[in-house]
Amino acid sequence: MDTGTVMGTVMGTGTVMGTVTESVSEPASGARPSGAHGDGDTGADRALRHHGDAEVRGAGRELTDLAVNVRTGAPPTWLKARIAGSLDTLAAYPDGRPARRAVAARHGLHEEQVLLTAGAAEAFVLLARALRTRRPAVVHPQFTEPEAALRDAGHDVERVLLTAAEGFRLDPAAVPADADLVVVGNPTNPTSVLHPSRTLARLARDGRTLVVDEAFIDAVPGERESLAPLLTSGDASDGRPLPGRLVVLRSLTKTWGLAGLRIGYVLSDPGTVAALARHQPLWPVSAPALTAAEACCEPSALAEADDAARRIALDRAHLLARLGEFAPQGLSLHGSPQAPFVLVRHPEAAALREGLRSLGFAVRRGDTFPGLGPEWLRIAVRDEETTDRLASALGRLLAGNGGMRGTRNAERCQTTDDG
């Protein structure tokens, strides 16, 4: 069964208010997971490991990048200078203590509650290897690396599939009560939904590890709905400590344009941080990355990030307005986007994506996200001028759908040529 299928009969499936729970103890192809189970790569595994950067590799580098969610114009000059200055220290082994202290101070936590990682993606691997879990559940559609890491570590993963009909909003009752590990993104990639912190707090319970991926939360003005403050203040409603274990993941990749440097961090209780650290190699984060982490926690950097988040909100509003012009041609949006990207739906999205490539734009296919099908695309928020150029390209492709037919004809010719 196609991992992107939401409706239909699947083993271990239940529905709560339009939310589907799907057991994926084996990939959709029937093969067992790769990694710890020792099998080869499957189509399902490859789909989980497909990311937006694949759209802009090779010849795609010449395209206007609307597929990768890294802010354009970053890193800023001052941050480049700080990173460049760290190169004089490369003869010494990295010392993560100053950066760890900076991150802890930025969040009002103890140093023992912070673990620096080579990007937030490393944290998913550490969690999959370090935590004992009987019934892990991943809320989808979302970033696919958490599930991929769990499966590689030999875990059977249960998917909680949120639906467009419900605006991809989370109902905590949809998560199996006995799930002892729950992973959810906030704001969620690719849906751009920002779940209320009170809703997420309802997922916490004794015996459960709640992992919240906040890789894009610094692109939300004021970082509202973040669960990081609950590591110090307790429940969002009454101030009491949350039951169970809370793990918050952060990335410096998106806002600061550091995808190639690999820097992120984990926030949790000291015991969890220590358990994850035991699965890291020595010196897991490079000296330049540590310098960046320390610099991005300074008050001036936090203010700059918040200013950028507010600009993104304005640019996103312009993008939504321009995309809304194509509703008569079948282009639709769902929910209330709050992240630096939006998810759109069109019945011929695959042809539309190829047509946009022919006109110089790369957008992210959506069908590799569990719970989504081939009619979905993710589009990164850019400045108004870029959005207007995108709208012009969409206008050419969707005008009477003539351009779409031309694109489909070209695709058929390419398929024939490829044999």
Q: How much is the pLDDT for 18?
A: 56
CB 290 within 8 Å of CB 117 = no
Query: What does the pLDDT look like over 127-148, one tens digit per residue?
Result: 999 999 999 999 999 999 999 9
205-246: pLDDT as tens digits:
999 999 999 999 999 999 999 999 999 866 655 566 899 999
Q: Is the pLDDT of residue 164 over 50?
A: yes
Place 72 in a pLDDT band, splitting at 50, 70 and 90.
Answer: confident
Pick the CATH number of 14-24+77-301 from 3.40.640.10, 2.102.10.10, 3.30.460.80, 3.30.930.10: 3.40.640.10
Residue 162 has pLDDT above 50, yes or no: yes
What predicted TM-score, i.e. pTM, was given to this entire model? Answer: 0.86
Q: What is the pLDDT of residues 280-299, one digit of tens each?
A: 999 999 999 999 999 999 99
Instruction: Answer yes or no: is pLDDT of 2 > 60.
Output: no
DSSP 8-class letter at 35: G
pLDDT on residue 25: 47
Q: Is the pLDDT of residue 57 over 80?
A: no
Whose CA is closest to 202, among 158, 246, 157, 138? 246
b vs e for 246-261, b when ≥16 Cβ sit within 10 Å of the residue's Cβ?
bbbbbbbbbbbbbbeb
Q: 16-20, 110-114, 386-390, 413-417 — which is least confidently predicted?
A: 413-417
Neighbours of 316 (CB within 10 A): 22
Mean pLDDT of 66-78: 91
DSSP 203: T
Between 23 and 349, the higher pLDDT residue:
349
Predicted local distance difference test score (pLDDT) of residue 6: 29
Query: Closest Cα partner for 18 from 132, 174, 184, 197?
Result: 174
Strands of the sheet with 19-24, listed across from one edge: 14-16, 19-24, 157-161, 136-140, 181-185, 209-213, 245-251, 264-267, 114-117
The runs of H, that is alpha helices, within 12-144 are 43-48, 77-85, 97-107, 120-130
Residue located via tokens 């709208």: 391
Topology of the domain covering 49-69+308-417: Aspartate Aminotransferase, domain 1 (3.90.1150)
Percent of the chain with pLDDT over 70: 81
pLDDT reading at 40 higher than 70? no
Burial class of residue 23 in the structure, from the number of CB atoms within 10 Å of its CB (0-12 exposed, 13-18 middle, 19+ buried) = middle
Q: Where are the domains of the chain?
A: 14-24+77-301, 49-69+308-417
Q: Is 131 exposed, middle or buried (0-12, 13-18, 19+ CB in 10 A)?
A: buried
Q: List pLDDT tens digits, range 191-208.
A: 999 999 999 999 999 999
Q: Please tell me the predicted confidence (pLDDT) of residue 58.
A: 80
